């Protein structure tokens, strides 16, 4: 058996699969591969599972996306989180992350055609939803101001905070949704389940080269000089995934762009007069360009939905500041347009981290141009909810490709277990053109 996380591998240790990265998706992939009997090793430069960008995830579980396959994947993911203990296995024990089901509300706004596309996908897949009127919104969110402020603006805009005419007339409420209370613990739960199935993990270990021999990957070389051999390598490097690709002795053939983008989420205490009639309702509001979810200690977490006024900022994943900037303060003030009594501190607290995002904000789950080298990248921001299904998808994709199938020209068709839908995994191809249906935002 390969060495465990606490063991010491020698320089010629061989595995069936090496997964680079031990975030929530990397650990989910390890779990499904190990359950198939694969000798699997996850290698991560950080000290523990889920220690990187996974730990900064808002961990929202929702069932609405801009594409049909993205929506189906999310709905399948919801069922996996709903049955978290069963997904991990009967021997999962205690200390598990919790899925807190609150429901999610999406404002009907001009910018998203009053959710017509989201509703089309929900109806096609039989996803339960309710149409809320303005009165319904105000009943569930006391003190809300439903004036329209679009387009979203920054605070240095003279028109910031000025209503632009009209009012929000309604929203779509999805009862099947919520959030995971601790994303890092969720990753560790998956890591522990994978280890019980036979997977191994090496932390504090940086990969410096991915050698290719006779057109196929041959393993990885670590910074300490260890060479770990495997016929299959999976890049699940999150914000470092571009740098991981650069370590490959070959071109992976990724045509759609992806890069580490800075994201900030501000935490703020709501006014005492503000209370949810549904515990911790999650809100998506394109009119002000923000999403809102419950935070710890009764606080709200407010993040950007990437409107035009919040331009992308690319950061070095090995050298970036985790201090909040005025961007986070802007998000809080944008939300104060909805909650006028919101007290905004000039010294905000919250989270700053990097998302590995593609140009259309949809993931890459794919093989590469180098035999044996696979990609689960471009996943940050909106794929936490899909991690469990992505692990199964990647496991099946590897089986499909390694059996000699031409995935690039005849993509794997991936039947879902809980949703009456079969994914055309070509939708997640590294070679795809920009997905026109995408929201081109963190919403996917």
Q: Please report where in the chains the tokens 């699997």 appear, as a residue.
A: 40
CB–CB of 342/270 below 8 Å? yes
Token pair belonging to 281: 């309702």
Distance (Å, rounded) from C-alpha 191 to C-alpha 50? 9
CB–CB of 66/443 below 8 Å? yes
pLDDT, position 6: 35
Alpha helices, DSSP H, located in 105-261: 116-125, 134-140, 183-196, 241-246
Q: What is the phi/psi pair of residue 122, to 5°?
A: -60, -40
Lateral strand order in the sheet of 178-180: 60-61, 178-180, 99-101
Q: Which residues contact 267 (CB under 8 A, 6 or more apart)?
A: 295, 296, 299, 300, 301, 302, 348, 349, 350, 351
Nearest to 438 by CA among 112, 66, 118, 62: 66
Domains and their CATH numbers in the chain: 101-176+258-357 (3.30.9.10)
Query: Pseudo-torsion of CA 200, 202, 207, 210, nearest 10°?
Result: -10
pLDDT, position 380: 84
- DSSP secondary structure code for residue 298 in this structure: G
CB–CB of 176/128 below 8 Å? yes
3-state SS class at 189: helix
For every one of its 444 residues, what pLDDT tens digit does the chain have, with 9 covering 90 and above? Answer: 343 333 344 445 899 999 999 999 999 999 999 999 999 999 999 999 999 999 999 999 999 999 999 999 999 999 999 999 999 987 888 899 999 999 999 999 998 999 999 999 999 999 999 999 999 999 999 889 999 999 999 999 999 999 999 999 999 999 999 999 999 999 999 999 999 999 999 999 999 999 999 999 999 999 999 999 999 999 999 999 999 999 999 999 999 999 999 999 999 988 877 765 445 789 999 999 999 998 887 889 999 999 999 999 999 999 999 999 999 999 999 999 999 988 888 788 999 999 999 999 999 999 999 999 999 999 988 999 999 999 999 999 999 999 999 999 999 999 999 999 999 999 999 999 999 999 999 999
């Amino acid at each position: 058996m390969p060495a465990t996380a606490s063991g010491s591998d020698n320089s010629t240790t061989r595995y069936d699969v090496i997964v680079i990265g031990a975030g929530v998706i990397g650990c989910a992939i390890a779990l499904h591969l190990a359950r198939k009997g694969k000798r699997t090793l996850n290698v991560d430069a950080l000290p523990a599972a889920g220690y990187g960008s996974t730990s900064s995830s808002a961990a929202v579980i929702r069932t609405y996306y801009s594409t049909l396959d993205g929506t189906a994947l999310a709905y399948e993911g919801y069922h996996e989180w709903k049955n978290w203990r069963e997904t991990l296995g009967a021997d999962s024990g205690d200390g598990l992350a919790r899925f807190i089901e609150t429901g999610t509300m999406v404002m009907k706004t001009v910018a998203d055609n009053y959710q017509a596309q989201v509703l089309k996908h929900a109806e096609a897949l039989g996803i339960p939803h309710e149409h809320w009127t303005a009165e319904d919104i105000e009943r569930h969110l006391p003190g809300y101001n439903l004036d329209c402020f679009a387009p979203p603006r920054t605070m240095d805009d003279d028109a910031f905070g000025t209503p632009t005419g009209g009012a929000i007339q309604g929203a779509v409420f999805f009862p099947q949704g919520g959030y995971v209370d601790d994303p890092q613990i969720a990753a560790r739960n998956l890591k522990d389940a994978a280890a019980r199935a036979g997977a191994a993990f090496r932390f504090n270990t940086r990969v410096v080269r991915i050698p290719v021999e006779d057109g196929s990957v041959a393993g990885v070389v670590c910074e300490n000089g260890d060479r770990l051999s495997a016929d299959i390598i999976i890049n699940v490097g999150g914000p470092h995934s571009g740098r991981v690709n650069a370590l490959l002795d070959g071109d992976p053939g990724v045509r759609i762009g992806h890069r580490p983008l800075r994201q900030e989420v501000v935490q703020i205490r709501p006014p005492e007069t503000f209370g949810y009639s549904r515990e911790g309702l999650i809100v998506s509001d394109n009119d002000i360009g923000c999403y809102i979810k419950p935070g710890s200690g009764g606080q709200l977490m407010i993040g950007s939905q990437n409107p035009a006024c919040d331009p992308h900022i690319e950061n070095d994943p090995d050298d970036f500041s985790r201090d909040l900037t005025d961007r986070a303060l802007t998000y809080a003030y944008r939300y104060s347009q909805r909650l006028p009594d919101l007290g905004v501190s000039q010294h905000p607290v919250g989270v700053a981290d990097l998302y590995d995002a593609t140009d259309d904000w949809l993931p890459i789950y794919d093989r590469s141009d180098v035999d044996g080298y696979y990609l689960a990248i471009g996943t940050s921001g909106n794929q936490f909810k899909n991690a469990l299904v992505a692990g199964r998808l990647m496991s099946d994709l590897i089986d499909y490709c390694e059996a000699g199938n031409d995935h690039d020209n005849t993509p794997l068709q991936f039947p879902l277990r809980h949703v009456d839908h079969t994914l055309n995994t070509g939708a997640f191809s590294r070679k795809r053109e920009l997905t026109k249906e995408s929201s081109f935002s963190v919403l996917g």
